[in-house]
Structure 1
């Protein structure tokens, strides 16, 4: 698949907005090309030799028989979902904005896509009964081989596709293909390009540029009510299984007409590039609105209280006894996010200990001990009143140590950094204790700083050295006596004094900012520790130690415990320390390491998205001059929303309405989403992604007509895309193909009628209707759910 070109759409479009374009055409469509250059030499009227000819063949590569696995960004309705989808036009969002137009179709205009989305039922597909979406697998040669019962595409395979390459295809009954396949002149209205700001989405490993190509089906899904009960896949209780295939129409142009000639074949073979299925039924069990609304309810169906939305054990787990001191102590601990777990002491006694991970329902106070600890035991807290242990920070320390030891490259970089630090300290110690180097008196108040050996040698050369060497030695006037030995200095005490000195701290700090000093090693260490601060390598169990804290279909908010993070970094930084000297050195540079790691964590998401920290629209980037982040909060979402809408948008704002930067937004599993905010938001919104909103009709088959004339920013004008009025509607379902067993749009009738209705509603001609204009009229606004802070509703 061709890479998407860089485009500013993802950062220039405001969050929540979307741009629609008719297409995104490549400069040169995919295919095999031949350049022939002829040069003729003439001498007057006669030709000299030749003609001289040069031929160059080349191929513009593009997908032909398959697309990359990661090319599909979103599918609507989601794969495997079940809901009220009868009024929704299925569509697929592709990560490459040019993919839908990369290949030309014979007899079609250059803006005609080569892809189409077919919505089928089991009864309309032939073969493939063992595959979930009724697909068949074969080599390219076998797929194109002539079959008297199957019409194959007249496909010219490009040079980069071998006959033995694999492909996936489907066979559609000829009558079904004639009923549901779009006509050649309708195809351009079923694909468009879309731009959106992607700052509120998880990155998902995409080379994202904010532009997407979208292919829309021309058929509404079938439901149990519209199919015969005996039809395969039709069940009044569960609805009808609809199968959607993104197919290539290349080579089938001759049958994309109202009355195609199938040459006596009973079915048509089409390359399937992507496929999924869903159940269309009357209820709304898997709609975005109902799934989002379910996040605000308890398992019993009652509305959840605000305190039920924090990450901790539910109130039902507290137990009935809250009238005693022990009961109140237990309730307070559980409300603070703690969990009692079995604990085996070093002496072999079995007891229990309290544990709380870094994601807490309360804002904990930071403690200095976590950043200064060198062992996990130093962070075990004991409550003599209740005889219980708090092992939270000790667990964090051991988690950081275990993760660091398991990562060999990090351990090597940390060891190199520690050795470079030792060499620098040795140099400073030698300068401080040398009796051969003079002191220049520049060490600050009451201190003298030894000069370097180079400076001392230079001063010696500047003196009258040669004169002194040429002067004969004089005769000593006093009798000789043996020198008195000076007391030997205490090396341990001297080294400790050097380590504690401000000169050493200043020298180490300065060296960490130079590329030829400690800076190169520090940068690599800080990269790893920055990811550790954002909990990337931390297993899920230390984060959520009990499933009851995050049940299915739940959303939980939390604060990030700074002391837990300090202990986590202490464990990771302390590996490989072999002596008290290493420990002392680590303490000197610890503040610098932690500051560098925090800065890396603050800029991590901006780095992933290839934005700069100074970019005002980038999330997760610190402001100019900032080196880290403040109090961190976040959310954990465990729901079918995550799997059904993998590009789910998460937006947060402060009390003034300004966006709160996102530090991390990632899928921990197909159904679990973790988001970390740089600050405490006043409002958090979960929304369908702008590039993944739905197309379709409202109740009774109507759509509201939207403004197409006013450009953005026109003073006093109606904004582009705004509804023209609550009663200004258009009946889409009046324009369906006649004689078909499904509701298939007749675009040849729909587009002219919609254009006339828009002309009337605008009071003037709006011009020819393009694919983007049709998409704007058919769009169903993305749904969202908003959560507010304690001062909201």
Structure 2
């Protein structure tokens, strides 16, 4: 724990770890400022010197801008807990909001408070505790800044000084709270510093959704537990809770124990962000239930744990692959077991039949197909099984998909055309160099181009020879005999393009930074994204919805043959002759290798991070598809994979394909995959009995426990003993003025020494509920998931 830290990229924080800080204070709070400089001229240096003119004065006014009446919640908010519109057992959870800007809660000062006091507060309310806004699900009212600040005899408005960049017609969202409710739910001025803190976290295991990569986040925590039905209530007796992030600027006189409302019936507050959730007596949709539901089969009661084979990405087969199964049905079971799906297929001759299709995501590692890398059309990749009279259209569809995606991207077509033209010129140069009689043959020393040969002459005796009188020879002169022309120039060029020497020369030119490499870079980057399936339609990845049912997790390998065909289709556009086809083959291996390197570095470039291994390339790529409310409820869900040695596997891609579908690709075969609540979005609260385990706040020294470690299973603290008095049992608001010193005393006793005071980060550490996770382990470290698995 520390006070405001510097703000470099937080690359030193290990994945899964988190740093807590009391606050992150700006160098200058927001507001209108004036700089005034005066200068006086005197006739001398003594005290009695006469003033000459002046004094001279200059005034410069400026504004330090920061949000005052509104924020853009789509970019400013990283996570809401509990999630918006969710339902679950949230009665023992303190709602909180994670903000992308670590400075935001402290950018505006409150009158009569220290700089570490935030100007924002998170209020948890029920419908009966809000006035107006009946047409809004969160009970907000849309108005303008001018109308909001206008005096109203029934509503108490904040004494807010509008800054110069805020106009009276600017829109804002407002809520109204009855004066009788306000003192019961709004934090006191002295409590506010404990309800906001700053966190640092490494976000390398999260989807990229505009996060401050490896940076800091600010967190605002509510002081009230959600309202919920009493124990024993039926499951349908859920209670709607509405959370508002409000500005307390201008309401400082009301933030005491006995506020004066000046005869007003209600108080108006600016709402900067709002969401709602349902608190239920039982836990139906919290993280643990949703995560454990991923491991259950979709039986009527959902009680059976899924086997390892049922968690691969494939259709459920109606037949068994056993000796007792009829041969035709066993063939179907084998095809489906390998990840194929039967789809309608219309042959070129117009016959209607079906074809087996398998996308790039397969439940089994496929065998390599040699002809894929050299195919120039989809027909060459169409498979036919004469024993069963069935077609396999997988690779043909992959080739056509790559071609269609390439043709749809005009920028890529232009870059590929420029690269092919440059390669064509290079091949011509190499061929003419090989066939020229004016240059030394391969392997001999000497100039390799006509320009170099002419330069050699200029550097040698040519200029000297031009300055001397010509010598007349008596020998008769005869012109040199020209070299015989090849009998078949096209065949000679064909042989040259197929030669190992030509391939080696082109590969050397691609590696040298002589212009050709620069033309290859954008092509390789585009193909690298193609290898990560970024532009590929979802129906090509999962051709049947039954492969990924609701609330399911499916693992897969990627098919190198499918990816090779995909890239082949994208590279093959623009080939108009056999010369073009040969030329494409000349550079294909180098282009594919560079595309694989670009794919391996793609996520690092997205995160503006230095790659751990600049020479990394693609190995066997595996991954998972998650279709669950976990994705929508926890958009920054952490996904981590490690190999058999326990080393983290690089994440190649981690994207939301829809609000509730997450795709993850890893560079390697995981031995363990873990899904976890994000570190910067974990929950605060108490256990079911109102207790919290006490954690170490002292550095790791001698026999002491590491920072943050639980002091013992029986060393707890009763938080619910420190609530504000209220006749309504549903209004459970923390009395932080009593809670903080009592908790500090308990920690002193548990540590056996003084901890030196309790700050906002220390309080956050004590109230945190450990992020939940579910882990899938492979039994032999080379495949996953495990049957049963070790899940937590």
> TM (normalized to structure 2)?
0.93
Q: Which residue of 2 aligns with 1:620?
A: none
Relative distance call for 1:86 and 1:476 in structure 2 (3 A) is: closer
Is 1:148 matched up with 2:147?
A: no
Relative distance call for 1:166 and 1:613 in structure 2 (3 A) is: same
CA shift at 1:53, angstroms? 1.3
Q: Provide the rounded CA distance (Å) in 2 between the counterparts of 1:7 and 1:364.
A: 47
Q: Which residue of 2 aligns with 1:344?
A: 346
Is 1:747 matched up with 2:747?
A: no
Q: Which residue of 1 aligns with 2:724?
A: 737
1:678 maps to which of 667, 675, 681: 667
Do the aligned residues in 2 keep the contact of 1:95 with 1:208 (CA within 8 Å)?
Answer: no
User: Which whole-Å deviations, capped at 9, do the CAs of 1:199-228 have from their partners, x for residues lacking one?
Assistant: 11111122323311110000000013399x
User: Which whole-Å deviations, capped at 9, do the CAs of 1:79-127 have from their partners, x for residues lacking one?
Assistant: 1111111111100111111111111001111000010000000011111
Q: Which residue of 1 aligns with 2:336?
A: 334
Q: Provide the rounded CA distance (Å) in 1 between the counterparts of 2:630 and 2:753.
A: 42
Relative distance call for 1:430 and 1:481 in structure 2 (3 A) is: closer
Q: Provide the rounded CA distance (Å) in 2 between the counterparts of 1:52 and 1:756.
A: 59
Q: Secondary structure of 1:594's partner?
A: helix
Q: Provide the rounded CA distance (Å) in 1 between the counterparts of 2:211 and 2:6.
A: 13
Q: Which residue of 2 aligns with 1:55?
A: 59
Q: Secondary structure of 2:288's partner?
A: helix
CA shift at 1:47, angstroms? 1.1
1:72 maps to which of 69, 74, 77: 77
CA shift at 1:179, angstroms? 1.0
Higher alpha-carbon deviation: 268-277 or 714-723 = 714-723
CA shift at 1:467, angstroms? 8.6
Do the aligned residues in 2 keep the contact of 1:438 with 1:456 (CA within 8 Å)?
Answer: no
Is 1:717 matched up with 2:719?
A: no
Q: Which runs of 4+ in 1 moved over 6 A?
A: 317-322, 480-485
Q: Which residue of 2 aligns with 1:284?
A: 283
Do the aligned residues in 1 keep the contact of 2:123 with 2:185 (CA within 8 Å)?
Answer: yes
Q: Which residue of 2 aligns with 1:200?
A: 205
Do the aligned residues in 1 keep the contact of 2:313 with 2:361 (CA within 8 Å)?
Answer: yes
Q: Which residue of 2 aligns with 1:513?
A: 511
Do the aligned residues in 2 keep the contact of 1:664 with 1:676 (CA within 8 Å)?
Answer: yes
Is 1:728 matched up with 2:715?
A: yes
Q: Provide the rounded CA distance (Å) in 1 between the counterparts of 2:361 and 2:482.
A: 67
CA shift at 1:764, angstroms? 2.2
Q: Provide the rounded CA distance (Å) in 2 between the counterparts of 1:471 and 1:581.
A: 49
Q: Provide the rounded CA distance (Å) in 1 between the counterparts of 2:162 and 2:714.
A: 52
Relative distance call for 1:342 and 1:528 in structure 2 (3 A) is: same
> TM (normalized to structure 1)?
0.93
Q: Provide the rounded CA distance (Å) in 1 between the counterparts of 2:131 and 2:568.
A: 63
Higher alpha-carbon deviation: 396-405 or 235-244 = 235-244
Q: Secondary structure of 1:470's partner?
A: coil
Within a 5 Å distance, the mapping from 1:379-394 to structure 2 comes to 379-394=381-396
Q: Which residue of 2 aligns with 1:11?
A: 11
Q: Secondary structure of 1:73's partner?
A: strand
Within a 5 Å distance, the mapping from 1:467-616 to structure 2 comes to 470-472=470-472, 474=474, 476=476, 489-614=487-612
Higher alpha-carbon deviation: 746-755 or 110-119 = 746-755
Is 1:33 matched up with 2:33?
A: yes
Q: Secondary structure of 2:428's partner?
A: helix
Relative distance call for 1:359 and 1:452 in structure 2 (3 A) is: same
Please list every run of 5 or more consecutive structure 1 residues that lacks an aligned counterpart in the other structure.
Answer: 230-234, 615-622
CA shift at 1:762, angstroms? 1.6
Higher alpha-carbon deviation: 658-667 or 630-639 = 658-667
Is 1:434 matched up with 2:452?
A: no
Q: Which residue of 2 aligns with 1:618?
A: none
Do the aligned residues in 1 keep the contact of 2:356 with 2:394 (CA within 8 Å)?
Answer: yes
Q: Secondary structure of 2:181's partner?
A: helix
Within a 5 Å distance, the mapping from 1:405-424 to structure 2 comes to 405-424=407-426
Do the aligned residues in 2 keep the contact of 1:440 with 1:451 (CA within 8 Å)?
Answer: no
Q: Secondary structure of 1:315's partner?
A: coil
Within a 5 Å distance, the mapping from 1:182-221 to structure 2 comes to 182-221=187-226
CA shift at 1:696, angstroms? 0.7
Q: Which residue of 2 aligns with 1:116?
A: 121
User: Which whole-Å deviations, capped at 9, do the CAs of 1:487-515 have from their partners, x for residues lacking one?
Assistant: 56422122213322344323322322344
Q: Provide the rounded CA distance (Å) in 1 between the counterparts of 2:113 and 2:212.
A: 31
Q: Provide the rounded CA distance (Å) in 2 between the counterparts of 1:5 and 1:770.
A: 15
Is 1:46 matched up with 2:53?
A: no
Please list every run of 5 or more consecutive structure 2 residues that lacks an aligned counterpart in the other structure.
Answer: 781-785
Do the aligned residues in 1 keep the contact of 2:321 with 2:334 (CA within 8 Å)?
Answer: no
Q: Which residue of 1 aligns with 2:745?
A: 756
Q: Secondary structure of 1:532's partner?
A: helix
Relative distance call for 1:484 and 1:783 in structure 2 (3 A) is: closer
Relative distance call for 1:9 and 1:423 in structure 2 (3 A) is: closer
Q: Secondary structure of 1:46's partner?
A: coil
Q: Secondary structure of 2:11's partner?
A: helix
User: Which whole-Å deviations, capped at 9, do the CAs of 1:675-719 have from their partners, x for residues lacking one?
Assistant: 11111111111111111111111122111111112x14x343211
Relative distance call for 1:406 and 1:115 in structure 2 (3 A) is: same
Relative distance call for 1:103 and 1:467 in structure 2 (3 A) is: closer
Q: Provide the rounded CA distance (Å) in 1 between the counterparts of 2:259 and 2:145.
A: 25
Q: Provide the rounded CA distance (Å) in 2 between the counterparts of 1:106 and 1:318.
A: 74
Higher alpha-carbon deviation: 467-476 or 279-288 = 467-476
CA shift at 1:159, angstroms? 1.3
Do the aligned residues in 1 keep the contact of 2:644 with 2:671 (CA within 8 Å)?
Answer: yes
Do the aligned residues in 2 keep the contact of 1:443 with 1:503 (CA within 8 Å)?
Answer: no
Q: Which residue of 1 aligns with 2:684?
A: 695
RMSD (Å) for aligned C-alpha atoms = 2.5
Relative distance call for 1:425 and 1:313 in structure 2 (3 A) is: same
Q: Which residue of 2 aligns with 1:357?
A: 359
User: Which whole-Å deviations, capped at 9, do the CAs of 1:659-683 have from their partners, x for residues lacking one?
Assistant: 1111111111110111111111111
Do the aligned residues in 2 keep the contact of 1:18 with 1:194 (CA within 8 Å)?
Answer: yes
Q: Secondary structure of 1:313's partner?
A: coil
CA shift at 1:790, angstroms? 3.3
Is 1:267 matched up with 2:266?
A: yes
Do the aligned residues in 1 keep the contact of 2:313 with 2:363 (CA within 8 Å)?
Answer: yes
Relative distance call for 1:131 and 1:36 in structure 2 (3 A) is: same
CA shift at 1:244, angstroms? 0.3
User: Which whole-Å deviations, capped at 9, do the CAs of 1:462-487 have from their partners, x for residues lacking one?
Assistant: 3685499734575859xx99999955
Q: Provide the rounded CA distance (Å) in 1 between the counterparts of 2:466 and 2:9.
A: 74
Q: Provide the rounded CA distance (Å) in 1 between the counterparts of 2:448 and 2:756.
A: 84
User: Which whole-Å deviations, capped at 9, do the CAs of 1:152-204 have from their partners, x for residues lacking one?
Assistant: 11111111112111111111111111210000110001011111121111111
Q: Provide the rounded CA distance (Å) in 2 between the counterparts of 1:123 and 1:759.
A: 41
2:646 maps to which of 650, 657, 662: 657
CA shift at 1:449, angstroms? 8.9
Do the aligned residues in 2 keep the contact of 1:596 with 1:627 (CA within 8 Å)?
Answer: no
CA shift at 1:308, angstroms? 0.4
Higher alpha-carbon deviation: 756-765 or 566-575 = 756-765
CA shift at 1:59, angstroms? 1.4
Q: Secondary structure of 2:199's partner?
A: strand
User: Which whole-Å deviations, capped at 9, do the CAs of 1:640-672 have from their partners, x for residues lacking one?
Assistant: 000111111111112221111111111111101
Q: Provide the rounded CA distance (Å) in 2 between the counterparts of 1:207 and 1:18.
A: 14
Do the aligned residues in 1 keep the contact of 2:124 with 2:244 (CA within 8 Å)?
Answer: yes
Q: Provide the rounded CA distance (Å) in 1 between the counterparts of 2:779 and 2:110.
A: 58
